[in-house]
Amino acid sequence: MEMTFRWYGKDDPVTLEQIRQIPNVTGIITAIYDVPVGEVWPKEKIMELKKTVEDAGMHISAIESVPVHEDVKLGKPTRDRLIENFCTTLRYLSEAGIKIVCYNFMPVFDWTRTDLAFDLPDGSNVLIYDDATASSWDITKEDVSLPGWDASYTKEQIRSVMNEYKSVDEETLWENLKYFLERVIPVAEEVDVKMAIHPDDPPWSIFGLPRIITCKENLERFCKLVDSPYNGLTLCSGSLGASSQNDMPDIIRHFGGMGRIHFAHVRNVKHTGNRSFEEAAHASNYGSLDMYEMMKAYHEVGFDGPIRPDHGRMIWGETGKPGYGLFDRALGATYLNGLIEAIEKNDK
């Protein structure tokens, strides 16, 4: 496997020069952020991004993410043009030698937390999710700032998109996902780009919206929607692992064994109650996940794709994008590298 690190482009306070100094990080995970969702990523912009990363001595290992337009998830008639655009972007990425694409199929909101800077006793702060707090919010009325979704939504737009989802239950969302995959996966096969869906975070319904990429059974159903090795997963332990019902090493062995894991997000999470959790330092004893067992599972299935530390705490006074500071993610990468070296040497 290859150790990688997420970089949010030129506006990211974390620089490529800093990332390059993290031991063993050779790959960058990035995206183009200034093209409206649903439009084609121009070839020139892709080439420019590739050059920027390569000039810094690294390469692009995967795109995270090519976003899926809301109309595709809603199954609206405009989806055909949007899916075509998505396919054109895949073709251009392939031409640039970028062969793994992460995306998600979460209605309206990407990852969602109730506090973006919860103070821990050691003076660091983390992202947390408390279900009682989230359930008490009326997202169409209150001014809540959520990190993972498009901040350009006005209240009026939120109200209208939430309204549109009233007719989309889980089964309809499955159908819309299938419709998308049936059109995208053949192109992915043709241009040799592995599609890797990111699980829903948290892995349960929020604000009354359906969420389906949540557990082993549903991942299995997902893989069968279009049964192709190009229809795979970004296995995010912090997202799936937020539910204590998801046995992460088992899920890694199962889908890794099937060759369906194309990209690994490895982080820890601490269960603090029913449907409530805190993000945590990467080390096993800081959270509820057994990081050693997960890394062993990746090793056992011979996983050879990109792996990255995921959200980190804010430590050492760093400020920046919640979850995406430099310091704690770099510690995460180093910790994962240590586990990998130990597991590999132990196996010889």
Which residues have a catalytic role annotated?
198, 236, 265, 310-311, 324
Q: Between 198 and 275, whose beta carbon lies closer to ligand CS2?
A: 198
Q: Give the DSSP letter of residue 68.
A: P
Which of the ranges 12-20, 100-108, 114-122, 273-281 carries the binding residues for ligand CS2, by CB under 6 A? 100-108
Backbone phi, then psi, for 321, in 5-degree steps?
-70, 120
Alpha-carbon torsion (137, 139, 142, 148), positive or negative: positive
Using alpha carbons, list the distances in angstroms from residue 48 to 51, 74, 212.
5, 33, 35
Q: Is 64 in the site for ligand CS2 (CB under 6 A)?
A: yes
Q: Is 104 in the site for ligand CS2 (CB under 6 A)?
A: yes
Pick from 310, 332, 333, 339 the residue near ligand CS2 by CB under 6 A. 310
DSSP 166: G
Q: Measured from the CB atom, is 52 or 65 closer to ligand CS2?
A: 65
Written as one string, the DSSP assignment of 101-165 is EEEE--SS-SS--SEEEEEPTTS-EEEEEEHHHHHH--TTTS----SSS-TT--HHHHHHHHHHG
Any contact of residue 239 with ligand CS2 (CB under 6 A)?
A: yes
**Owner of token pair 């192709």:** 228
79 binds, among Mn ion, ligand CS2, none (CB under 5 to 8 A by kind): none
Give the x/- contact pattern for ligand CS2 in 197-236, rule: CB under 6 A: -x--x----------------------------------x
Number of residues that bind ligand CS2 (CB under 6 A): 14
Q: In whole angstroms, what is the distance from residue 294 CA to residue 129 CA?
A: 23
Least CB distance to Mn ion at residue 196 (A): 11
In the bound state with ligand CS2, the residue whose beta carbon lies nearer, of 64 and 71, is: 64
Q: Residues interacting with ligand CS2, by CB under 6 A? A: 64-65, 102-104, 110-111, 148, 198, 201, 236, 239, 265, 310
